[in-house]
Amino acid sequence: MTEIEFYYDFGSPYSHMAYHVLPVITERTGAQVVNRPMLIGGVFKLTGNTSPIEKDAHLASKIVYRWHELQRYAGRHGITHNQNPHFPINTLPLMRGAIYAQGKPWEADYTAAMWAAIWRDGKKMDDPSAIGEALAAAGLPVDEIVTAVQDPAVKQGLIDATEAAVARGVFGAPIMFVGDEMFFGKDSLTELEYFVEHGA
């Protein structure tokens, strides 16, 4: 079975788009998504890259366009996506949680809850109380996760995952790999699907 490796950070609105579109692609192609959580701030630091919002801070019209285009894309694909009033959000505890969730029976529920809290509900998800509320609302083991994100092994796991992503060539989010073939950004998903069907 063809694997699509999905490198993401919950704070990336473009990754949120990919999160919703990738299952549609896998349903059509029979491929399987393998989640690769990482810390996008760490990626930027290690690569010398900066976020699109930082790069375009002096171009107000371009920032307005970016958010408008996201809404247009979300509408086309039936995705509920709202501009988070607290953006950008420090996702460090959330991404540690994603590392801890890997392989757990509730991993998919955790992932879905974090995406929804940020991009559907507009929660301030760098606030511990907001995190706890989102976890509880999703029926997740709140105390277990809150404790785990402070575990040195989990912290190191996120560092290792981020460094491994950069070593792979990752410089932003979302980035998907099919084998050694890289696809960057939500707009590359059409090409990714074509590659899975014809070039993999």
Q: For position 52, what pLDDT does the model report?
A: 75
- Asked whether 6 and 22 are in contact (CB, 8 A), the reply is yes
Distance CA 35, CA 99 (A): 10
- The per-residue pLDDT for 1 is 85
Task: Tell me the average confidence (pLDDT) per consecutive run of 10 residues in the chain, 200 residues long.
Answer: 96 98 97 98 93 77 89 96 94 98 98 98 97 98 98 98 98 97 97 91
| Site of tokens 């059409």 | 190
Strands 3-8 and 181-184: unpaired
Q: In this predicted structure, what is the pLDDT of residue 119?
A: 97
Task: For the full predicted model, state whether its pTM sits above 0.85.
Answer: yes
Domain architecture of the chain: domains with CATH: 3-199 (3.40.30.10)
Q: Is the dihedral of CA 116, 119, 122, 126 positive or negative?
A: positive
Q: What is the Cα–Cα distance from 125 to 123, expressed in whole angstroms?
A: 5
The pLDDT value given to residue 161: 98
| Distance separating alpha carbons of residues 58 and 68, to the nearest angstrom | 17
- And the tokens for 160? 């290792």
pLDDT for residue 70: 92
Strand segments, DSSP code E, in the chain are 3-8, 32-37, 175-178, 181-184
